[in-house]
Amino acid sequence: MHGMMRGYVRGIEAVNHVIGRIVMWGIFALMGVLFYSIWSKAFSLPALWTLEMAQFVMVAYYVLGGAYSMQTGAHVRMDLLYGDWSPRRKAWADLFTIWLLIFYLCVLIYGGVASAAYSLGYWGQTPFGFFAGLATGSEEIGTMERSSSAWRPYLWPIKGVMVLGFTLMLLQCVAEFFRSVLVLRNDPMPERIPA
pLDDT, position 193: 66
Across the range 148-168, mean pLDDT stands at 95
Across the range 37-52, mean pLDDT stands at 91
pLDDT, position 2: 79
Q: How would you classify residue 191: left for phi > 0, otherwise alpha for psi between -120 and 50, otherwise beta? A: beta
Q: Would you list the domain boundaries of the chain?
A: 2-75+85-184
pLDDT for 186 beyond 90: no
pLDDT for 138 beyond 90: no
pLDDT, position 174: 96
pLDDT, position 85: 86
Task: State the average pLDDT for the chain.
Answer: 90
Q: How far apart are CA 90 and CA 123, in angstroms?
A: 44
Sign of CA dihedral 68, 74, 78, 84: positive
pLDDT for 189 beyond 80: no
The percentage of the chain sitting over the pLDDT mark of 90, rounded to a whole number, equals 62
Q: How far apart are CA 78 and CA 4, in angstroms?
A: 31
Across the range 151-158, mean pLDDT stands at 94
Give 82-117 pLDDT, tens digit per residue.
Answer: 888 888 898 899 999 999 999 999 999 999 999 999
pLDDT for 3 beyond 90: no
Stretch (H or E) spanning 7: helix 2-24
